[in-house]
Amino acid sequence: MEAELAGLVRVLDRRGAVVLSGAGLSTESGIPDYRGATGRHRTGTPMTFQEFTGSEAARRRYWARSHTGWPAFARARPNAGHRAVELLRRSGHIGAVITQNVDGLHRAAGTREAVELHGGLDRVVCLDCRRTSSRAELDTRLDELNRGFRHPDAVLRPDGDAQLSPELTAGFRVAPCADCGGVLKPDVVFFGENVPAARVEACYELVDAASSLVVLGSSLTVLSGLRFVRHAARAHLPVAIVNQGPTRADDLAALHLDLPLGPTMTEAARLLAAR
């Protein structure tokens, strides 16, 4: 593996790289991705912002599925890939982390300053008063409203929810905001919703200050992550991709390693520490 990693090690040895991570980094923690080997995008269409805000039935369906999947999602722990990223951040080889993931696993691994591009499922926001609260708090309230609802054999999906039949979700009781009675939404960017402009600008600034951009576990299918790779390429920054399967930016990358993230990043960190 050392020969395969030589190019990645050279990129990281420039120090100050920005990492852009995607769902593929978290599959080794038991969270499926959308399009890779464990991808389950095909099992259902993700909830859109327009559907969620425009339909009480859609919100009931979303929260029923999310409430069912939440325990498994919340139990997920950082894997070797997250830990290696944090080791490389401490050594200065990685200067910043931007993640497309909503699982909080970079934070759990110690990378507290990781920019969560699409937000975090462990937080809930009221669309009326804008109060932010913890998902754990909401989970307790939903449990009280829906005793015995959870189905332990339900299949976890990439966004932390589970596939349930319409018959099961129809009677689910949704909790309103505890402060104002408004509509609660997970503090994540849904499909059809824009990433906050200030967050995007902050990420551009991180890329501008970086020595290189390293993509970990993302097919870069959606523009929210792809734009940073395009930005780096325009600035003539080296782009390295570690992802199992092709990506939308392979033509912009100096190298693409089709390897599992945990072992690859662990070995890269070991090689750099030995220098």
118 carries an active-site annotation: yes
Please tell me which residue in 41, 118, 151, 236 is annotated as part of the active site: 118
Q: Which of 184, 189, 151, 143 is nearest to 167 (CA)?
A: 151
pLDDT of 148 strictly over 60: yes
Binding residues for NAD(+): 100-103, 217-219, 243-245, 261
Under CATH, what is the fold of the domain 2-273?
Answer: Rossmann fold (3.40.50)
Residues 236-255: tens digit of each pLDDT:
999 999 999 999 999 999 99
Q: Is 257 helix (H, G, I), strand (E, B) or coil?
A: strand
Residues of the chain with pLDDT > 70: what percent?
96
Binding residues for Zn(2+): 126, 129, 177, 180
How much is the pLDDT for 40? 41
Residues 205-219: tens digit of each pLDDT:
999 999 999 999 999
- H-run or E-run covering 7: helix 2-12
Binding residues: 100-103, 126, 129, 177, 180, 217-219, 243-245, 261
The first and second tokens of residue 240, run together, are 């390295």
pTM more than 0.85: yes
